[in-house]
Copies of this chain bind each other. A is one copy, B any other.
Amino acid sequence: MESEELRNVGLKVTTPRLKILSLLESAKAKHMTAETIYRQLSESGEVIGLATVYRALAQFEAAGLITRHQFEGGQTVFELERGPHHDHIVCVRCGRVEEFYDKVIEDRQREIAEKLGFTLSDHALTLYGECSGGACPAKNG
């Protein structure tokens, strides 16, 4: 239940937070922008300010419930934190996002940081390309 999740991370249980969290959990698109979340809530009749969406997302992120990804072209998306770590590949034509995990790359990153004298705290790996054939809606138009 979503209210549990909120309580567990020390956030007050409020209607806007519940709506946002449950939208993130039920949405077909795993990666959503603040704007998208706001629009979808509005369309389903919820009156939730855009500022509240941003506030809630920032809190969820701080609490570790969701992750923020900043792709090129300025788009910032949020994704529910579930399942193991992974990176992303984004179609530059249709914007579709796929996830992947590669142990070899993860290990190399840690080694590289160490070798350069850094304590690795995070990383962002995003591949950009065109998804193939019929899978890419932008290619069929």
Contact in complex: A128, B124 (CB < 8 Å): yes
Measured CB to CB, the nearest residue on chain B to A123 is B127
Give the complex CA separation of A127 and B125 in angstroms: 8
A23 at the B interface (CB under 8 A): no
Q: Which of A32-40, A49-57, A98-106 contacts B (4 or more CB under 8 A)?
A: A98-106
Contact in complex: A89, B112 (CB < 8 Å): yes
Give the complex CA separation of A125 and B106 in angstroms: 11
Contact in complex: A104, B113 (CB < 8 Å): no
CB within 8 A of A128: which of B98, B104, B121?
B121
Measured CB to CB, the nearest residue on chain B to A70 is B72
User: Could you mark each residue 59-97 of chain A with 1 if its beta carbon is under 8 Å from any beta carbon of chain B, else 0?
Assistant: 000000000001010000000000000000101100000
Contact in complex: A127, B102 (CB < 8 Å): no
Q: What 6 new A-B contacts, CB under 8 Å, besides A89-B113, A125-B125?
A: A105-B105, A117-B132, A118-B132, A124-B124, A124-B125, A124-B126
